[in-house]
Structure 1
């Protein structure tokens, strides 16, 4: 295995080993009384959280990077006629999904696979879904917490009016996390090592970022590209958050009633579609043990 400093997630697995021991790694057919799934997820999530706290690079990636990217994209992004307060939660959520949930989860999952920890966990009573949920939970919770904090700060200190549509921000955070967790797991299949993740994750970071409107105004894109962009995995997150913070779409349309409900349903359907695609690919390409 390669150097532990090469990735935010590439750390010692002692905490996760202890977690695996706590769950039990006996063959599944020999565990008639398995621990409840939520308790298993909690044990794995707590161990993954311990790994995160012991890794300064990972902490920087999870807590400082989204805030830094807010100021970066606020200066170059494609949003006009919107205050910084309304813009901040959208940028926090978008960048956190890309770099906290997606990239960090890919490197973490690959590191656990190469150390054979996933194989040991899978040979016990923890199911595949429990393992994925346990490893992903800390990164998802960090993303949701940061987004909620940004929205609250915008209302309290940045003169953004509170509105009922702000519930859409929570919806975007939850469905966006589901989609990007599934895409992260799917991306581990072709990723040979933690260092290789820097290459394999690049298309899934750059293309959705370009098409989301965060880095390039959607209004400046050709009409055909705009149509494609609406089906990218980051665009619905940006659209829902923009609706929640401003009551308008990214293109400046004010929606109410059935028009708003229809728009929300479409954006949610796109995110759920990407979730299904990610899991479908994962079932065919995911590896649970080292290639060597």
Structure 2
């Protein structure tokens, strides 16, 4: 698996333009957003940092993980690489993990760097950093599984720009600020989708409140919930996310196409 992952990494890093754009977007945009939100006190900055980290994780999951894995899987399938690899010693799981390895490493490194940037900009220490770490790890499973599922309905790498749109739209609609503008019924549905749960878990772990409360601008948005309540609320979110992960992994295994069907 290591040799496969190294080969995928070499392919991934060759596209300097994509790497530069991903770095600027995934880290730069949340940092700029952090600068536009309230940072008058460490507590205010912590609440603003939660929103910035929410945006970071969303962009990292969609742009780095989901889209790159989708493109690489589709390209390798069309080139017959996946079919050839299955005739070797590597298992199916190892092949898929190797495809995910480059973007996963990138996201995990950025996921460590971004909180440091938020703290450097004046944020108080996170309320429950463990929840942020869990969200970071589960985002890899969610995004990669969705990429493998989408690849089954993608004829070629160019078509990925179209077939990826439903997931991208769902991801963008999962932002706390966007959900707050939706009708109650629609918001309740979106609140329980994978990306929305990830966003809320990030905010809960960093600021001690879900993103919707932070964006309300009330004092409650800047005052963390009690530690016990954070763990309880976070546990519910993690349970829902784990259920989603199981469903998505099973679906990915079922729909995954290893060779082009013409």
Q: Which TM bucket (shorter chain)?
A: 0.7 to 0.9
Scaled by the length of structure 2, what TM-score is found? 0.85
Q: How does 1:129-140 map to 2 (within 5 A)?
A: 129-140=93-104
Superposition deviation, residue 282 in structure 1: 2.1
Q: 1:75 to 1:103 in 2, by over 3 A?
A: farther
Superposition deviation, residue 71 in structure 1: 6.0
Is the counterpart of residue 181 in structure 1 residue 151 in structure 2? no
Q: How does 1:1-292 map to 2 (within 5 A)?
A: 40=1, 42-70=2-30, 83=45, 84-155=48-119, 157-214=120-177, 216=178, 218-252=179-213, 254-292=224-262
Q: 1:72 to 1:162 in 2, by over 3 A?
A: closer
Q: Which moved more, 1:102-111 or 1:235-244?
A: 235-244
CA distance in 1, matches of 2:90, 2:68: 22
CA distance in 2, matches of 1:177, 1:61: 20
CA distance in 2, matches of 1:61, 1:111: 21
Q: 1:82 to 1:163 in 2, by over 3 A?
A: closer
Given that 2:75 and 2:156 are in contact with CA atoms closer than 8 Å, whether structure 1 keeps it comes out as yes
State the partner residue of 1:25: none
Mark the runs of 5 or more structure 1 residues left unpaired by the alignment: 1-39
CA distance in 2, matches of 1:113, 1:74: 40
Given that 1:179 and 1:272 are in contact with CA atoms closer than 8 Å, whether structure 2 keeps it comes out as no
Q: Which moved more, 1:165-174 or 1:255-264?
A: 255-264
Q: Which moved more, 1:273-282 or 1:94-103?
A: 273-282
Given that 2:50 and 2:202 are in contact with CA atoms closer than 8 Å, whether structure 1 keeps it comes out as no
CA distance in 2, matches of 1:103, 1:191: 12
Scaled by the length of structure 1, what TM-score is found? 0.77
More helix by share: 2
Given that 2:27 and 2:110 are in contact with CA atoms closer than 8 Å, whether structure 1 keeps it comes out as no
Given that 1:192 and 1:291 are in contact with CA atoms closer than 8 Å, whether structure 2 keeps it comes out as no
State the partner residue of 1:16: none
CA distance in 2, matches of 1:82, 1:44: 45
Q: Over the residues paired in the alignment, what is the CA RMSD in angstroms?
A: 2.3
